[in-house]
Amino acid sequence: MVDASDGRRPAFRVAAALVTVLLLSFAAVAVAPAGGREVPESFADVVSRVRPAVVNIATSRTFGEEVATRPYRNFGREGAPFLHDETHLPPGHPRTVTSLGSGFLVSSDGYVVTNGHTIERASRIRVILHDERVFDATVVGIDGLTDIAVVKISSVRNLPFVQWGDSDAIRIGDWVMAIGNPFGLGGSVTVGVVSGSGRDIRSGPYDNYLQTDASINSGNSGGPLIDAAGRVVGINTVILSPTGGNIGIGFAVPAAMARPVANQLRDRGQVERGWLGLRLQTVTAGLARALGLTRPRGALVTAVTADGPADRAGIQAGDVILGLDGEEIRQVRTIPRLIASQAPGHVVEIGLWRGGARLTLRPVLGAAGDVASLDGLVSEPELAGVGGIISGLLDEQPPPRAREREPLLGMQLMPLSSEMRLALSLAPDRRGVYVVAVKPDSAADAAGVRPGDVIFVAAHSPVSSPQEMAERLTTARRSGEEAILIQVYREGEPRFVAVAV
């Protein structure tokens, strides 16, 4: 008699083998990185290609009495001079202080990109190559608004150089490497990931940093942030640290911004930027309701420079910019950056929201001059630790209603006098009303109106007396509006607030 179990063994073994193969295949698929990108076993090959193009930068500067007798303190921007407390030196005793930083070659004939703060005010700049050759360098150009600089070493050819990458394509979580000269050690490499993008740390008008946890320390300033393919996606510039040391939060100027700036510095020694002549503020939920928008979006124009490009094109205070050259505006700080990236003379298409309707205007960009003439943002209150995030969340709540319908929303107003206009540096013919006092817990108080503010506009119309303000409020209430849009002048700049009526 034949045992039936013996006849089943081959089939059982085949089935077991198939199950094993399927399980292994599933495990392989489960651990495969999304998008087909594999975690490399080593970054050594990439580093060996790129590191010869990364340079150390040593600068020197002679200080006099006012600095030589004072210790240096680090307030958060890394790559600053290594100074020691030498207050024992005789008054007026000069000394030379050395600063260390990093940079990278972008051409075979000696052009080096670095940070502006690494070389500014230096009396001598030396570039040390990977093979330890040392060259004196000259400044080609510095752009203080982006903290990018280009220097040139001469009498040398066939140098290794890096390729720029696409920082717009890099994703949060992608591998990056910081290569530079931390603490003067030279040629150091740290590895991490991109932790965030589009970071605004209030260091300048065009903040748009990449954030990384790749260790960046003093001396890394100006060095490249490299992607896994060995391309430069950023310039290491700033660290966030309460102690001055690395805590895993570093910031790099993205290549999308750095490359065109470096190219302009290399070609003509300075940067030309487009200019509209605008002051802008964020559209909050309360402002959106007062403006007739279904949700907070775009950027609210608070002021227009007289006879500037925006003014000549017909843009007005109270307009909301919804789009620029076909790109939807999601954050107000995007606009100054986009405008500055265009050359003077460029015709920009701007989509506006005005009085409940859409319209399109096409101003011709002018040339940005000094910092005071740049397109900018109205300063807004910032909560410690979280920037404007919490304030934005709070603003999503419905606007507080006044406990009673006060004629002037809890404000005591008076017309502007000649003396007030002079004290507030206003034009002699400027119309408006002065806020003498604000009743606590009133609608005006809840909206942020403060004593000392000057109200120029209410409900899109100028006001010059308390009676005119009362008339605007009466009209808004009869129309069933929830809030009224008021333009106030405070601390030298205008801004809009939405007050519940």
Q: Which residues are catalytic?
A: 117, 147, 221
Long-range contacts: 42-46, Cβ < 8 Å, 24+? 43/175, 43/177, 43/189, 43/191, 43/228, 46/177, 46/226, 46/228, 46/229, 46/230
CB-count exposure of residue 46 (10 Å: 0-12, 13-18, 19+): buried
Angle at 419 between CA 416 and CA 425, to 5 degrees: 85
Q: Which amino acid does the sequence have at 380?
A: E
Say how far apart CA 277 and CA 161 lie, in whole Å: 39
Tokens of 290: 């007062």
Report the C-alpha gap between 221 and 200 in whole angstroms: 18
**6: CB partners within 8 A, 6+ apart:** none
Residues 6+ apart with CB under 8 A from 283: 291, 293, 296, 297, 298, 299, 300, 320, 332
Q: Burial-class residue 157 by CB neighbours within 10 Å (0-12, 13-18, 19+).
A: exposed
What DSSP line would sit under 343-363, residue for residue?
PTT-B--EEEEETTEEEEE-P
What's the distance, CA 226 to chain centroid? 20
Q: Shortest CA distance to 353 belongs to which of 273, 278, 396, 295? A: 295
Cα 296 to Cα 111: distance, rounded to the nearest angstrom? 45
Q: What span, in angstroms and rounded, lies between the C-alpha atoms of 360 and 388?
A: 30
Please spell the DSSP secondary structure of 409-462, one letter per residue: TTEEEEEPPHHHHHHTT--TT---EEEEEE-TTSHHHHHT--TT-EEEEETTEE
Rg (alpha carbons) of the chain, rounded to whole number: 30
Which token pair is 250?
């570093």
